[in-house]
């Protein structure tokens, strides 16, 4: 009897050893490093090109200024685990939340516009809005919005979020509302940076230590010169304590709405004004250390 029990214990120990050797992951994703060759679809370079915007699995392109779902797919697989909470402080049309559902993550989104928050909520089922996606209508730079996020995290059984997404307006290129809290309504680019930093500070405080954040942003032209929004916002995030881990250049050709209608006009303006037309934006990766 004793020999039989000893044999069973040894078999169980051997099985545990096999399981331990079969899977190796980081603290922030589910990628099995023992089988890293199976993840060729996960991008690790600094140039991202997607031929077209994904328009299935709940995604659409009815809202100008939303980022493409493929970015969320890459970010979630690389920097989150199943059931992690993604915090998006510029929720917009809900790309972050839709892809969270698709990839078995959870999401809290803060959206400034009441009507947009209401519209986006219709993309989710009542059950999903209780268990997996929470949309908070408010100013992401405010203390009130921060407290609402904390309350929702507590309901979800978390103290802090595990991933942060920041996709702000690109200064005043597109006016998203008439609200003074809207970053697209700032009176100057410097005010834009200051207000962005307030949002990023809330994100920093709400993010778990050791976890990652993504800033999706492009540059702009103003007063006949380039405004390097991406790098200036990166500096503000570094000032808050974020460490920059990667600067990814994403090709935006084929992902913009109605660009073909004005392509020749912009080409003429570029030739006449001495500037170049933007065909890229940035996906900047940060870590809270």
pLDDT recorded at residue 233: 98
Two tokens, residue 262: 């004005």
Q: Would you state the pLDDT for residue 21?
A: 66
CA trace torsion 46, 196, 77, 152 (10° rounding):
180
Tokens 């402080």 belong to 89
**Model's pTM, two decimal places?**
0.87
State in Å, rounded, how far the first CA of the chain is from the last one. 53
Domain boundaries, the chain: 43-288
For 138-168, the DSSP string reads S-TTSHHHHHHHHHHHHHTT-SSEEEEEE--
Q: What is the mean pLDDT of each run of 10 residues along the chain (289 residues)?
A: 57 56 93 97 96 65 74 98 98 96 98 94 95 96 98 97 97 88 93 97 98 96 91 98 98 61 78 90 97
Closest C-alpha to 256, from 56, 63, 43, 59? 63
Predicted pLDDT of residue 22:
86
Tokens for 11? 């078999």
Q: Which CATH number applies to 43-288? A: 3.40.50.150
- Report whether 102 contacts 128 (CB < 8 A): no
């Amino acid at each position: 009897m004793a020999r039989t029990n000893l044999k069973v214990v040894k078999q169980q120990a051997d099985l545990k050893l096999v399981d331990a050797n079969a899977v190796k992951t980081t603290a922030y994703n589910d990628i099995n490093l023992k089988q890293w060759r199976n993840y060729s679809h996960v991008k690790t370079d600094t140039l991202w090109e997607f031929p077209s915007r994904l328009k299935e699995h709940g995604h659409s392109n009815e809202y100008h200024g939303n980022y493409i779902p493929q970015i969320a797919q890459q970010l979630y697989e690389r920097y989150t685990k199943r059931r992690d909470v993604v915090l998006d402080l510029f929720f917009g049309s809900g790309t972050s939340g839709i892809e969270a559902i698709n990839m078995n993550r959870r999401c809290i989104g803060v959206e400034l516009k009441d009507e947009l928050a209401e519209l986006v909520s219709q993309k989710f089922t009542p059950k999903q809005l209780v268990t997996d996606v929470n949309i908070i209508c408010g100013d992401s730079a405010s203390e009130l919005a921060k407290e609402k996020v904390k309350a929702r995290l507590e309901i979800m059984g978390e103290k802090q979020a595990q991933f942060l997404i920041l996709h702000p307006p690109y200064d005043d290129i597109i006016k998203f509302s008439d609200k003074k809290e809207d970053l697209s309504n700032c009176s100057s680019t410097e005010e834009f940076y200051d207000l962005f930093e307030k949002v990023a500070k809330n994100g920093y405080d709400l993010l778990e230590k050791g976890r990652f954040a993504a800033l999706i942003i492009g540059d702009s032209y103003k007063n006949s010169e380039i405004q390097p929004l991406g790098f200036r916002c990166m500096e503000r995030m570094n000032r808050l304590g974020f460490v920059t881990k990667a600067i990814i250049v994403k090709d935006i050709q084929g992902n913009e709405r109605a660009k073909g209608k004005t392509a020749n006009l912009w080409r003429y303006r570029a030739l006449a004004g001495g500037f170049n037309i933007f065909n890229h934006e940035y996906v900047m990766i940060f870590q809270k250390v």
